[in-house]
Amino acid sequence: MSDQPAPGVAVHLGANKYGKAENRLVRITRDTTRHEIEDLSITSQLRGEALAGSFLTGDNSRIVATDTQKNTVFALAKTHGVGSPERFLTILSQHFTDSFDWIEGGLWQAEQYTWERILVDGSGHDHSFVRTGGGTRLASVQVVDGATHVTGGVKDLVVLKSTGSEFRGYPKTAFTTLPETSDRIMATSVTARWRYLPDAVAAGVDYNAVFADVTRVLLEQFAVVHSLALQQTLFEMGRAAIETRPELAEIRFAMPNKHHFVYDLARFGLDNPGEVFIADDRPYGLIEGTVVRDGVAGAPDAWRDVPSFV
């Protein structure tokens, strides 16, 4: 090594985890001729004091190889099915913590992609599907100190309203040039992650029903709230989600303000009453917030190493 270590410098291993990321699992249920498809990207990562040897000395005797984690994902998809990403991640978490006494916990994450049946003569085909938009489903299961935390979520849910959005009343500072507006386009790409109440998880949750309800009310609120700020819309979306589903403890949002600027056509003698816009890429506003059910205890472990907002 080319650098002389400073005398007396000593270091230790801090937070860590390891595993296999983005296992692209496609699970076909073909019990009948009418197939079902589940399409996910699954990341499995393990934690445990006993794993330190791999970092400190290259001792792999407790390292459940990332390749083994990958094989496990696909094998358990066969033996247990998927059902919902939250359910399948829970099965994975139980498998690893039960099978290896030195695996103390970990983080399992999923994205799920949505497919619809292709319409043929107006009916959904038995085994042919088309990928749809409308957002990618998210889930995570985290095991820390014997507790299991479950989140659901959605990302890339892109929405726009062409009116019903204002932005006024902000401080006019030395560097403020933005004119106030009582009618603008508001557009965002919603990332939301909701944490399930531990009691609800223990009692059993219909995760697919919750996902459907939450995404539905998020869209509805975005539509019906007359917006004074993207912050306000965010809060009303979160409030409605928690009101709708008693299983939810809290919901986090990251909502970029995807700017659409009214194009200045007055230079060409044309008026432009909110008809012609240029969509801009960067920079963008970035509004992040959490809505929490009153009386619910916080759970920082649930969010450990889960992307903070986005």
x-marked contacts with a second copy along 261-300 as a string, rule CB under 8 A: --x-x-xx-x-xxxxxxxxxxxxxxxxxxxxxxx------
Q: How far is the CB of 239 from a second copy (least distance, A)?
A: 5
Please report how close the Cβ of residue 206 comes to a second copy at its closest, in angstroms. Answer: 17
Tell which positions 111-130 bind a second copy, by CB under 8 A.
114-115, 118-121, 125, 127-130
* Near a second copy by CB under 8 A: residue from 61, 98, 145, 297: 61
Q: For this structure, is 259 an active site residue?
A: yes
By the rule CB under 8 A, 12 interacts with a second copy? yes
User: Does 203 engage in binding with a second copy (CB under 8 A)?
Assistant: no
| Amino acid residing at 188 | T
Among 205, 217, 299, 302, binds a second copy (CB under 8 A): 217
Asked if omega into 85 is within 30° of 0 (cis), the reply is: no
Q: Does 18 bind a second copy (CB under 8 A)?
A: yes
Q: Site mask, a second copy, residues 230-249, x = CB under 8 A?
A: -xx-xx--xxx-xxx-x---
Task: Say whether 226 is catalytic.
Answer: no
What is the rounded distance in angstroms from the CA atom of residue 283 to the CA atom of residue 257? 9
Q: Between 32 and 146, whose beta carbon lies closer to a second copy?
A: 32
Q: Which of 138, 141, 154, 157 binds a second copy (CB under 8 A)?
A: 157
Rule CB under 8 A: say whether 182 interacts with a second copy. no
Catalytic residue among 17, 35, 66, 125: 66
Report CA-CA distances (Å) from 56 to 13, 48, 49, 51, 274.
8, 14, 12, 9, 62
Minimum CB separation from a second copy for residue 261, in Å?
Answer: 10
Only segment of 65-73, 83-91, 140-148, 198-206 that touches a second copy (CB under 8 A): 65-73
CA distance 69 to 304: 20
Q: Quick one: angle between helices 207-224 and 85-99, nearest 10?
A: 140
Under the binding rule (CB under 8 A), the answer on residue 208 touching a second copy is no
Indicate whether 139 belongs to the interface with a second copy (CB under 8 A): no
Q: Work out how close the CB of 81 gets to a second copy at its nearest, in angstroms, rounded to a whole number.
A: 9
CB distance 108 to 306 below 8 Å: no
CB nearer a second copy, residue 201 or residue 299: 299
Q: By C-beta, is 86 or 236 nearer to a second copy? A: 236
> Rounded to an integer, what distance in angstroms lies between the CA atom of residue 188 and that of residue 184?
13
Neighbours of 114 (CB within 10 A): 15
Phi-psi region of 58 (alpha: psi -120 to 50; beta: other; left: phi over 0): left
Told to judge if 66 belongs to the known catalytic residues of this protein, a careful annotator would answer yes
Class of residue 283 by CB neighbours under 10 A (exposed 0-12, middle 13-18, buried 19+): exposed
Backbone angles phi, psi at 191, to 5 degrees: -110, 125
Residues 27-46 that bind a second copy (CB under 8 A): 27-30, 35, 37, 39, 41, 43, 45
Give the whole-angstrom CA distance, residue 131 versus residue 189. Answer: 19
What is the C-alpha separation between 129 and 213, in angstroms, rounded? 23
Which residues on adjacent β-strands are paired with residue 105? 47
Q: Is 163 in the site for a second copy (CB under 8 A)?
A: yes
Give CA 183 to chain center in angstroms: 30
- Give me the active site residues, please: 20, 66, 259
